[in-house]
Amino acid sequence: MPNIFICFIRALFFAIFAIVAGCAGAQANEHPPVRIDVGGTTLNSILVKGGKKAELPPIVFIHGASTSLYDPMLSFRRKLQGSADLLFVDRPGHGSSDAGSPRKLLPDDQADAIARLMEARGIGKAVIVGHSFGGAIAAALAIRHPEKVAGLVFLSPAVYPWDGGVAWYYDAVTAPITGPLLSTFIAPPIGLAAIDRATRAVFWPNQPPKNYIRDTRALQALRPAAFRHNAMEVAALSDWAQTASINYRRIKVPTVIITGDADKIVSPTVHARHLARDIAGSKLIVVRNLGHKSDYVASDLAIEAIKKIAGRKSRLETVLKITELRIADDGKR
Q: How many domains in the chain?
A: 1
* Cα(149)–Cα(253) distance, integer angstroms: 7
Is residue 156 within 8 Å of 292, Cβ to Cβ? yes
| Distance from C-alpha of 87 to C-alpha of 68, rounded to nearest angstrom | 13
Report percent pLDDT > 90 for the chain: 71
pLDDT of 194 strictly over 70: no
The answer to the question of residue 210 being in a domain is yes
- Specify if 333 maps to a domain: no
Within-domain flag for 22: yes
pLDDT tens for residues 251-297?
999 999 999 999 999 999 999 999 999 999 999 999 999 999 999 99
Average pLDDT, the chain: 87
Residue 221 has pLDDT above 90, yes or no: no
Look at residue 245 and tell me if it is in a domain: yes
The arithmetic mean of pLDDT across residues 113-122, rounded, is 97
Q: How far apart are CA 145 and CA 108, in angstroms?
A: 10
The C-alpha atoms of residue 72 and residue 52 are separated, in whole angstroms, by 23
Residue 319 belongs to a domain:
yes
In this structure, the strands spanning 34-37 and 42-48 are antiparallel
How many Cβ atoms are within 10 Å of 14's Cβ, its own excluded?
13
Q: Which domain holds residue 301?
A: 2-324
pLDDT the model gives residue 17: 42
Is 279 inside a domain boundary? yes
Report if residue 303 sits inside a domain: yes
107 touches 244 (CB < 8 A): yes
The CATH number linked to 199 is 3.40.50.1820
Residue 50 belongs to some domain of the structure: yes
